[in-house]
Amino acid sequence: MHHHSHTRATLGGKMSAVLVAAGSSVGLGNIWRFPYVAGDNGGGAFLVIYILCVVLLGLPLMIAEFTVGRATHRNAVGAYQALDRRWSFLGYNGVIAAFLILGFYFVVSGWTAEYMVHSLTGDLARYTTAEEYSSVYENFIRNPWRPLLYTSLFVLATHFIIELGVQKGIERSAKLLMPLLFVILIALSIHSLLMPGGGEGLRFFFRPDFSKVTPQTFLVALGQAFFSLSIGIGTMVTYASYFKPETNLRHTALNVTILDTLVAVLAGVVIFPAVFSVGIAPTSGPSLVFITLPSIFNGMPLSMVWSSVFFLLLVVAALTSTISLHEVVTAYLHEEWHMSRRAAAWTTTLATLALAAVASLSLGVLDGWTICGLTLFDSLDYLTANILLPVGGLFTCLFVGWRLDRKVLKEQITNHGELKFRIYGVFIFLLRYICPAVLLLIFLDNLGLF
């Protein structure tokens, strides 16, 4: 089972495990999706439920995935194969989900790159009303060529880092980009807090409105937590396969979880005061970031600077996440299909680029092609977030909670007895009972049983 480990890369520095895993977790899910989902679902009340999901389900599952990865030193498929062949489907579920997520995530990432460039050139500052920004956005995403250009650039940037390898590519970029992300986010938060009339936005974001909480809210919070933490998909298995023997898995998971939640909350602090300071109703979805914000930035002094910096933040956050998704597929092809890392990376790049291109066109010229009434873009989002991720999470906790040898689990969590884990009993209880039960409820709900 350990025969691969001596040929494989290992992350170097002390903080590397945290930075690399946080790079995967912190992404468009935090900055683009979390604020509007929270705003739509009761603000502060949602935040409380979200944090419960993160602590009770997300954290144990992340530790579980770390365990599988570091115990085997293999890619997502290889890891389950090494532990119990019958559970390999769990690895395949992850590789397929990573591929499909890249199909739409690369498209939105491309938009952020285009908006960053157009902020820098001043093009984005030429309009005034939200209606104008709305048509700019619609015209852009429906255009057959421009999104493809930016998506391709984004795919190539991801490819380049992956080809550099685990240490020189993934680890080095995380060490550079994650601190940059925090600096930008803090600068933007301060700027936002100083805006006149911003307090109302903060009240909207943080005020617990329990009248908006329904059973559905719990499911929305859980789905958001899984997507945001990059859980249920083999990313954390793959990354942990590069962790050092000394890495403390619990602390790493705890730190990543805290950072991810912090970024989500700060994103809300950046966005909502800005939205309220100009008296625009907080609208949901992509329009919050791609329509409402540019029109707000435009009214501010130094608008070009703030909007360039904001979209740079999105680009950085998205890039460290696309790298992690790409690595899941690349590591699988490299180790299981015995391709060179370079060939594996190119295969992943070309395949995801093709999928992303069709997904991008599905919002414009190909919008007649639908799957169950959804465009390809929306069906990729739906299929992964509502089916593949929860399935992955469910079987991961069943596997680690019930099937995996307890000795292996204990060895990984305590680093062969060197670390203490006082709440091991709580952890096992969550993994064996609470996580599967809650996840099953999600499925039943998705199947329309409630």
Looking at this protein, which amino acid is placed at residue 108?
A: V
Among 113-121, 228-236, 292-300, 415-423, the segment contacting ligand PFF (CB under 6 A)? 228-236
Residues 6+ apart with CB under 8 A from 396: 61, 64, 65, 68, 90, 231, 232
Cβ-based nearer residue to ligand PFF, 32 or 133? 32
Whole-angstrom distance, CA of residue 13 vs CA of residue 29: 27
Q: Does 308 bind ligand PFF (CB under 6 A)?
A: no
Q: Using CA atoms in the order 359, 234, 34, 436, what is the torsion angle rounded to 10 degrees?
A: 120
Closest CA to 442 of 213, 214, 212, 222: 222
Q: Using CA atoms in the order 157, 103, 435, 445, what is the torsion angle rounded to 10 degrees?
A: 150
Whole-angstrom distance, CA of residue 223 vs CA of residue 201: 25
Among 152-160, 175-183, 230-238, 430-438, the segment contacting ligand PFF (CB under 6 A)? 230-238
Q: Does 235 bind ligand PFF (CB under 6 A)?
A: yes
> Shortest distance, CB of residue 407 to ligand PFF, whole angstroms?
28
Among 160-168, 202-210, 223-231, 336-344, the segment contacting ligand PFF (CB under 6 A)? 223-231
Per DSSP, the residues of 343-389 read HHHHHHHHHHHHHHHHHHHTTTTTTT--BTTB-HHHHHHHIIIIIIH
- List the x/- string, 86-115, binding to ligand PFF by CB under 6 A: ------------x--x--------------
Whole-angstrom distance, CA of residue 115 vs CA of residue 308: 8
Range 24-83, binding ligand PFF (CB under 6 A): 24-25, 27-30
b (16+ CB within 10 A) / e for 51-60: bebbebbbbb
Q: Does 173 bind ligand PFF (CB under 6 A)?
A: no
> Shortest distance, CB of residue 278 to ligand PFF, whole angstroms?
27
Q: Count Cα neighbours of 51 within 13 Å in the Cβ-side half-sphere.
A: 12
> Shortest distance, CB of residue 29 to ligand PFF, whole angstroms?
2
> Shortest distance, CB of residue 298 to ligand PFF, whole angstroms?
26
Range 313-332, binding ligand PFF (CB under 6 A): 321, 324-325
Q: Does 349 bind ligand PFF (CB under 6 A)?
A: no
Give the CA distances from residue 326 to residues 37, 90, 388, in Å, rounded to whole numbers and listed in that order.
26, 18, 17
CB atoms within 10 A of CB 427: 19
Number of residues that bind ligand PFF (CB under 6 A): 16
Among 118-126, 222-230, 306-314, 347-355, the segment contacting ligand PFF (CB under 6 A)? 222-230
Q: Does 228 bind ligand PFF (CB under 6 A)?
A: yes
DSSP state of 195: S
Among 13-21, 154-162, 229-237, 329-337, the segment contacting ligand PFF (CB under 6 A)? 229-237
Task: Kindly list the residues in this chain that would bind ligand PFF in the complex (CB under 6 A).
Answer: 24-25, 27-30, 98, 101, 227-228, 230, 233, 235, 321, 324-325
